[in-house]
Every structure is written in structure tokens, then in C-alpha cells.
Amino acid sequence: MKILSYNVNGIRAAIKKDFIGWLKSANPDVICLQEIKAMQEQLDVTLFEEAGYKYNYFHSAEKKGYSGVAILCKEEPKHIEFGADFDLATTEGRVLRVDFETVSVISLYLPSGTNQLRLEAKFKFMDDFQEYVSELKKTIPNLIICGDYNICHEEIDIHNPKMKGVSGFLPVEREWLGDFLNNDFIDTFRYFNKEGDQYSWWSYRANARNNNKGWRLDYCLATKTLENRLERAYILQEARHSDHCPVGVEID
């Protein structure tokens, strides 16, 4: 089972950059999208269906042109859960889950802390999401949580580790992600890959992407119950439909 995650920074803009052609070539079984910035009725879903993704689910923000997550599947899930039992997960379209027989996949778009108000909202979301996942694991032990976490975990995950005062690399954010992983999760990319200079987001400024001045903000985290089923994990830096690139994991 090949699962990809991609913050597309606007699905309609990505489609204009041949996202559909790339999707056919990449050929995942499931792809989690974040920051789709669109309502389902604004999209031609036949494009996804013709690419092989007959089962496509969208959880958009109430605010138009903002946030939103989606999951495209080749096989039909047995259950789909839109949002979660806390506010921003639903109103801002940040959590969407599909359940299959032996694994459940979540598309997550964790808020960014662009100002003090949003940073406080981000911290609240982090606490709420941790509580939600801890409760969820009691009934659904096999979880893969894919998405844009808007946090670099370790110094190896950012091109300039001195940026400790910037949201996304604040000590409190990094500590939260570490605690989240310690709650029986595996960072699948780091499970297979220990090398540096591996990023999933680059600023549009200062030619950052061509100079690989990036951040690793996107993750596929798997519960430890899935450890013996993990086969590969990777970052697809060559995909250029967004300021992010896709990340992926393959499980048996």
C-alpha cells in the first residue's frame, strides 16, 4: 500500500501545473492533500476519477479559499470521518480520516503560527489533536497520520538550526512533536533515512528551493503497531506543484 501526502497550496493551481499527470505517474493507492483552498463543488472531480481515484473525499474550511484537506483513494474505505471533536479540525478543514480493514489514514493540516493569535490557536490545536489521537488509538490502533505538521522536529530537519525563535522551529513546538512521537508513533521517513538536507517545504523567497534552503514540515507518522509492515518512506522533491513537495510511505 503506497500512501502519499502533499500540501498542494491550492488544488486548482496545482491542477494547472499538471498535478493530475503527476498523480497518474506517482500512482499511490491513497493520497492525502492539504491546503486545498477549495470547496468540492469548485472542483471537477471527474479528473480524479479518470486518474483512478474513484473514491475522493474533501473536508473544506468554512472560509472560502482557505485551508482544507482531502483524501483520494483507489479502493473504497469502510468508513470516512470528516473533522474531529474539536473546533479548528472542523471549521478550518484540518482533519479527515479514512478507515480500511487493517489501517486508518488521516490527512492532517496543522495550523501555522504566523502571528501571536494564530500561534495560540496552533498550540490549542496541538493539545486537542494529541487528545483526539490518544482516544482514537483505543479503538483504531493502526494509524498513519499524513500531513503538514508545520513543525521541524530536529535540527537535521531545517537548513538553519539557529532559527529557534521562528514558529515551526520553536522549542515548545519541537517538544510537542517529540512527545507525540513518544506516544507510540514512528516518523517513517527518519526510520529509513538518517541523512540531512532532506526537506519538504521551501520559501518562495531568495531562490530557496533551488538552493535547498528548506524545512521538513511534512510527515507520515505511523503507530508502532505498524512497524513490521513498513517497507519504504521517502520525500519526492522533484514534484513542483507547490512550495511543498510530497512525502510518502509504503506498507505491507
Give percent of the chain with pLDDT exceeding 90.
Answer: 100
What gap in Å lies between CA 89 and CA 54, rounded to an integer?
25
* Cβ atoms 207, 182 nearer than 8 A: no
Sheet holding 79-82, edge to edge: 79-82, 95-99, 104-109, 143-148, 218-223, 185-187
* pTM as predicted: 0.98
How much is the average pLDDT of 181-204? 97
- Mean of the per-residue pLDDT values of the chain: 97
- 15-31 pLDDT, tens per residue? 999 999 999 999 999 99
- 91-150 pLDDT, tens per residue? 999 999 999 999 999 999 999 999 999 999 999 999 999 999 999 999 999 999 999 999
Q: What is the pLDDT of residue 171?
A: 97
- Which residues carry out catalysis? 148
- 51-103 pLDDT, tens per residue? 999 999 999 999 999 999 999 999 999 999 999 999 999 999 999 999 999 99
- Structural domains in the chain? 2-251 (3.60.10.10)
Q: What is the pLDDT of residue 168?
A: 98
SS3 assignment, position 189: helix
* Cβ atoms 10, 35 nearer than 8 A: yes
How much is the average pLDDT of 201-215? 97
